[in-house]
Chain A
Amino acid sequence: MHPLLQVLLDGLFTGAAYALMAAGMALILGVVKVINLSHGAFFTLGAYVAYVLAERGVGSPIAAAPLAAVIAFAFGVFLGKSFVNPVRSHPFALPVGTLACALLFEQAAQMVWGPHPLSIEAGAPWVGPGGLVIRRWGVIAFLSSAALLGGLKWVLSARPGLPLRLIAEDEEIACSLGMDVEAIRYLTFGGACAMAAAAGALLSPSGAVTPTMGRAPLLLSLVVVIVAGMDSVAAIFLLSIGLGILGNACAWFLSPQWSYVALLVAVCLLLSARPAGIVALAGRRD
């Protein structure tokens, strides 16, 4: 088997990990309409929950994800109700406030677990035809991101998602129809935080668990959602996969140090071509 095939497959898995993070970010940006810079902290929280459970003999990140999601949902609802909802009308205050929350969480994590990296056993990968290595965490990331984004797409297009769609389109009409817009906003915020924590728990065995591990996924998920446009769940998934493969291909053909630069260049080009997001290229966005 040519190593390039392995590199591209790994790129697909890396992209799936971006998509997993971006799902919650899309929900917050689309419905609550705020930039949540504490999203990465919830990713980190999920990873620490997985680590604590692994220390107590529950080594499977799939088992840790629901608990991480519940804890993050509670924190997210609290944050949404006590801070995001009251402050969201001030566009500059909210990113600064959520960034402060993220830094506060990082400091708290450092005090509780220390600055040293922690690690969970990743488990042996599966070996496919021709010696192709199918990384366990990659499969989990791919399946869970597809399921999460697929579920999100279904919810948004079906009857249960009507309030979310309506609030995303026009909050005043939603209010006039008697919807509790505030409650839906903070519950959505909590749900998105739960998604980030579940992503952190699921991906925790792939690397090291540290207080600042959520920063890189935060940036990438934000980039994916803004470039893809918040209206199309499929675009978010496909763009994430595309960026993952592009990053790995650049690392292979150019240099590993250039992969991140290449990603950002691609993002800048896409944004300069279509500032409203790539879905607008197809005319589905105004």
Chain B
Amino acid sequence: MTVDSVPLLRLPRVLSGSAALFLFLFSPAFFAAPCVAAGRSETLKIGVLAPLSGPYAAGGTSFVQAATLAVEQANSEGGVSGQRVTIVVGDTQGRVDVAKSEALRLVSREKVSALVGAYLSEETVGVMEVAAAERMVLIVPVAATAEITDKVRQEYDRYRYVFRVGYSLPQWAELIAAFLSDRKVGRYAFVGAGIRWNLELGETLERIAAPRGITPAYTAFYSPGNPAFDTVAVAAAAASPDIVILADPGRNSVSFLKRLRESAPTLPALSIGGALGDARLAASVPLSAPVYVQAAAWRGLSPSATAYVERYEHRYGAPPVGYSDTLPFDAVTLLVAAWRKAGSVESAVVVPVLERGAFPGVAGTYRFDGSHQALWGTGPGALQGTFVRWERGGARIVFPPR
């Protein structure tokens, strides 16, 4: 024990220094300035719900970065009737219970005027209940489950505050099916993380692609926590599909694609969910066969899309992935535009404006249907998104034909 006594005597000094730092960081003095600023009445607050920790932290960080960029742009254009707009972020951690409690905190303690989020479908369905109970506008950027807009349609009075900017699963499946048809794909493998939107998208795509003569050759989902990449990659390649659709918004997508390239170097892959829209990741994957990425918008799609990409890249040092950043950017932009049109942030006034209006964004002009779903698809006037193909030096838009 005498051997241990010297370090034990030293430890409290280290701890006392740490304790002092801890007390300072969490003291009222440290938070005083932001609290005062946030409390000023001329500031309008948007509550942003995204996972900043956990397996989807990368997507959540892009989400918040894009929302920040959108409010900066709104403020540079004069804010809303002269009032500045700020965002207050709640970290959902990718968990339903945390997402709901963070939504409640943003509404009751931070006094936000509207919510934007969450990220996963599971989280968003939970946050919908908070928005409905508080009668607060909720703009959903990326969560795709059909349950969100089904609830609005079935119980309009309760959920009329909820609007989805991103594509629903049937719309998403229609966009993918159109792309597969354009690439003359007959059989595809659908693999990805075993999370809710993937499981539902796999079923929806099978149903929507079937009339075009496109059928699944293999379907499998791996556990996000400890994925069995090797087996899924080998089995997908053994099924001899024309393309592998990789549905994973997280870090595992690049690991899986590496395994797939090793097992089947000439098998094309389509990444959905945004992860492989990251140029830094795409640069590490062999391009011995096409690697496609589905995105809401991409550089070159339109002047506003190019301007957004350049601003994002200039600000954050890397280009956006075109999904988990672009849709939140449009969600915040659209919300601010609705506040301006309504001349108010009151939900009762803003909801009819959102229902009837047309709102330009990076991906195109947003209009909502009766279930408060933005119109995506292959029809005239619908937002179409884009599919790009990675090549050495960057990505090229390959669909829809331009």
Contacts and interface: CB of A to CB of B under 8 A. Distances in A.
B254 A182 contact: no
Interface in B195-245: 220-223, 225-232, 234-235, 237-238
Interface stretch (A37-45, A111-119, A149-157): A111-119
Contact of B254 (A6, A82, A117): A117
B254 A208 contact: yes
A91 interface: no
B231 A256 contact: yes
A206 B223 contact: no
Given A81-B7, A89-B4, A133-B262, A255 B280 contact: no
Contacts of A10: 230-231, 234
Classify chain A's interface size.
Answer: 35 or more
A135 B262 contact: yes
Contact of B234 (A6, A83, A85, A205): A6
A119 B234 contact: no
A260 B58 contact: no
A119 B235 contact: no
A145 interface: no
Instruction: Give the residue among B11, B229, B238, B251 with the most A Cβ atoms within 10 A.
Output: B251
Contact of A116 (B227, B280, B285): B280
B4 A86 contact: yes
Interface string B6-23: 011011001000000000
B395 interface: no
A235 to B, nearest CB: 22
Nearest to B275: A117
Interface string A177-211: 00001100000000000000000000001111010
A213 B259 CA distance: 17
A239 to B, nearest CB: 17
B255 interface: yes
B194 interface: yes
A247 interface: yes
A3 interface: yes
A115 B8 contact: no
Interface stretch (A19-27, A60-68, A69-77, A121-129): A121-129
B252 interface: yes
Contacts of B275: 117
B349 interface: no
A117 B222 contact: no
Contact of B228 (A207, A210, A251): A251
A7 B235 CA distance: 9
Contact of A247 (B8, B58, B228, B263): B228
Contacts of B57: 110, 115
List of 3 A-B pairs having minimum Cβ-Cβ separation, nearest first: A207-B255, A10-B230, A251-B228
Given A85-B7, A86-B10, 15 more contacts: A3-B237, A7-B230, A7-B235, A85-B4, A116-B318, A117-B250, A124-B286, A135-B262, A206-B255, A208-B255, A247-B228, A248-B231, A255-B220, A256-B194, A259-B223
Interface of A: 3, 6-7, 10-11, 13-14, 81-83, 85-87, 89, 110, 114-122, 124-125, 133, 135, 181-182, 205-208, 210, 212-213, 216, 247-248, 251-252, 255-257, 259-260
9 contacts: A7-B231, A81-B7, A119-B254, A135-B262, A205-B258, A216-B226, A252-B235, A259-B226, A260-B223
